[in-house]
Amino acid sequence: MIVPTRNEARNLEVVLPAVAAVRPAVYEVIVVDGDSKDGTVETARRVLPGVRIVRQTRKGKGNAMACGFAAATGDAIVMFDADGSADPQEIPRFVAALVEGADFAKGSRFTKGGGSDDITLLRKGGNAGLNLIANTLFGTRYSDLCYGYNAFWADILPLLELPAVDMPPHPDGGMYWGDGFEIETVLNCRVAAAGLSITEVPSVEKERMFGETNLRTFADGTRVLRTLAAERRRAGRDDRSAAPGTAVPGPAAVVPPAGHPAVPATPATAPVPPAVPDRAVPAAQPQRPAPRPHADAPAPQRPQQQPSRPAPQPQPGAGQPAPQQPAPSPVAREQRPVGAERDGSARPERTGVRYAWGEEAS
């Protein structure tokens, strides 16, 4: 579980013990700190002695998340806010969606069983409009684009092509595209563009416990719009680069909206650089597992406390409806042609999103 923080000491006093009480137990909690001045790191270690602390390498929520992703050793990664708005008791729902076959479990406040104690009428209306635009551009059926409570399998990280955590800060003092608050929209767009299996999980958002929110309704809404436009251009470029008979190039630099520095291109084979912890990891710390084999190869053994990813299940035959069941039931992941593992060229015309109560959007 990845928890980005900046001056969240009072909230962590409550949030981390609540996380520790979740059953089945959370395998690993990583607090990524952005130069807090209120004793956030010391508080985290005091209230949850087994916590791992990682110092983010640049500024911005996106960079904090990327540092946490790079440091994670578990198979499943959960994105969790430190302000008390997310309910730790919902974590098993997200993990269950992954175990049932989803590549990406997306929290939603506006699906059956979800809700929010914090969102205003203006923000709710803006979110609905942004959902419509995103679904039109990417062929999705998202019900809540602007929500950061998500979970996914660690082996999809190469498809997301986030800015490398070991790059130096931008010389102009700005942020690389993907380092800022646009990270959640970027992830939603890239998961859809890659044709991955998505399950929406109902979630209830609470009010922030302490401190003030950094959300700015109009500025952030405009930023999300620009993000959608930039990611649509990126997805279109990747689709063209994977045309039959053409070589598949390495990841290209993202074309961000005006005013945002682009991320330098990196080789397709470049490993995910490790985040920089503020203390050495004990020798007993489990290592990141090897990449998962295809369905026709035996699955490696994992520690008991980690969720086990199932083999892909075939979709129902033509004319047969998907089975209705109360447990999360995402769309099965399809076999992708050569090159699609990197660039998402196998994305279908419409990316199916199933809901955790067993209904599929159409």
What is the structure's pLDDT at 308? 67
Q: Can you tell me whether residue 33 is helix, strand or coil?
A: strand
Helix locations, 204-301, DSSP H: 217-241
How many Cα neighbours within 13 Å face the side chain of 339?
A: 15
What is the structure's pLDDT at 243? 55
Greatest alpha-carbon span in the chain: 59
What is the structure's pLDDT at 210? 87
Buried b (16+ CB within 10 A) or exposed e, 13-49: bebbeebbeeeeebbbbbbbbbebeeebbebbbebbe
Q: Which candidate, 222, 212, 204, 218, places its Cα nearest to that of 108? A: 204
Tokens of 299: 């699955």
Give the mean pLDDT per block of 10 residues along the chain (362 residues): 96 96 93 96 97 95 95 97 95 97 96 88 85 94 93 97 92 86 93 96 93 69 89 85 49 38 44 46 41 44 58 55 47 41 43 52 42
What is the structure's pLDDT at 216? 65
What is the structure's pLDDT at 166? 93
On whether the pTM is more than 0.75, the answer is no
- 70-97 pLDDT, tens digit each: 999 999 999 999 999 999 999 999 999 9
What is the structure's pLDDT at 72? 97
Q: How far apart are CA 346 and CA 84, in angstroms?
A: 38
* Tokens 């950094």 -> residue: 214
